[in-house]
Amino acid sequence: MKAFANVHPAVSMTYFLSVLLVSMFLSHPVLQAEALLGGILFCATLQKRGAALRDIGFYLPLFLMVAVTNPLFSHNGVTPLFFLNGNPVTLEAFLYGISLAVMVIGVLLWCKAYSEIMTSDKFLYLFGKAIPKLSLVLSMALRFIPAYLRQSRRVSRAQKAMGLYAGKNITDRVKNRMRVFAAMVSWSLENAMETSASMKARGYGKKGRTNFSLFRFRSADGVLLGVCVLLLAVPLVGAVAGITEFTYYPRVDNIETTPAALAVYTAFGLLSLLPFILEVKEALVWNYYRSKI
């Protein structure tokens, strides 16, 4: 079940922009940890268990690489842990590396969730009238990578069925990969031309062209949009008031625990967990009605 996928596209776009805005531009460790947690839980509800395990194999090494790389190149800070080739590896640089890794992984997870929820038809619905050509290009670009991966797997399986992957040495593997790549280049160009011709035949972008859409702005969408704006306003006000300011150099700041700071943490925590809460609620309702059958 994807309860958040049924939300109006304008609300979904507003929500993702809100979370990404705070995640990328407010470097407070509590806010970044909340964004990471929300992204992990939301992506877990959107994916199967096997896909989630594969993602762990990608994100965990990336997290370690980003966290370890920063203290190796940045030697700022007043608390040296040890010396490497005469250069200090400081606690502040190490903590900043962890913070940077949390931010990067969190943003990647939210972008992944965005690609799952904001499909090309939703993107065209939002921006097709205002910027038809640019919205079409962006829609094609956003869906290109997942479509490319799916098609490459089909081509690879077809060539295996034809017996083209019989060789086990490195040379044969490289040739096979190049054969798949050549097929994918042709498919990409052909697919782009077909899409362009199809949209042109439908009169896309022409003045006076009407558009049919299944999306309707319901009262529940209005409530959810209001909640998102309210929860976003709290950390933004906190940023203006300096509550979310946090520095790692030369010393790591203390995390504020004032009522205002706790309000900021709570508001953004609820904002980050909002899709997960909706998914859990939908699953509970679904299971309840199934039990009544």
> Which tens digit of pLDDT belongs to each residue from 243-256?
999 988 888 888 99
Domain membership of residue 25 (yes or no) is yes
pLDDT at 147: 77
Dmax (CA) of the chain: 71
Report helix, strand or coil for 233: helix
Residues 191 and 65 in one domain: no
Residue stretches of the chain with pLDDT short of 50: none
- Classified as helix, coil or strand, 83 is strand
The answer on 105 and 49 residing in a single domain is yes
Does residue 195 sit in the same domain as residue 222? no
Residues 175 and 281 in one domain: no
* Residues 93 and 222 grouped into a single domain: yes
Q: How many CB atoms lie within 10 A of CB 283?
A: 13
| In a domain? residue 240 | yes
Amino acid (one-letter) located at 162: M
Residue-wise pLDDT tens digits, 107-142: 999 988 888 888 877 877 787 776 766 666 766 666
133 part of a folded domain = no
Decide if 14 contacts 228 (C-beta within 8 A): yes
Whole-number Å distance between alpha carbons of 167 and 150: 24
Report the predicted TM-score, pTM, of the whole model to 2 decimal places: 0.78
Rounded Cα–Cα distance for residues 168 and 36 (Å): 41
pLDDT digits (tens, 9 = 90+) for 8-38: 999 999 999 999 999 999 889 999 999 999 9
Would you state the pLDDT for residue 60?
87
Return the half-sphere exposure (C-beta side, CA atoms, 13 A cut-off) of residue 133.
2
Domain identity same for 154 and 78: no
pLDDT at 197: 80
**Are 2 and 96 part of one and the same domain?**
yes
- Per the structure, the count of domains in the chain is 2
Full domain range(s) for residue 245:
1-118+216-293
| Six token digits for residue 287 | 């299971």
Nearest Cα to Cα of residue 128 among 117, 115, 114, 138: 138
In a domain, 135, yes or no: no
Q: Say if 241 falls within a structural domain.
A: yes
The packing angle between helices 259-291 and 219-240, to 10°, is 160
Asked whether residue 90 falls in the same domain as residue 177, the answer is no
Q: Are residues 152 and 65 in the same domain?
A: no
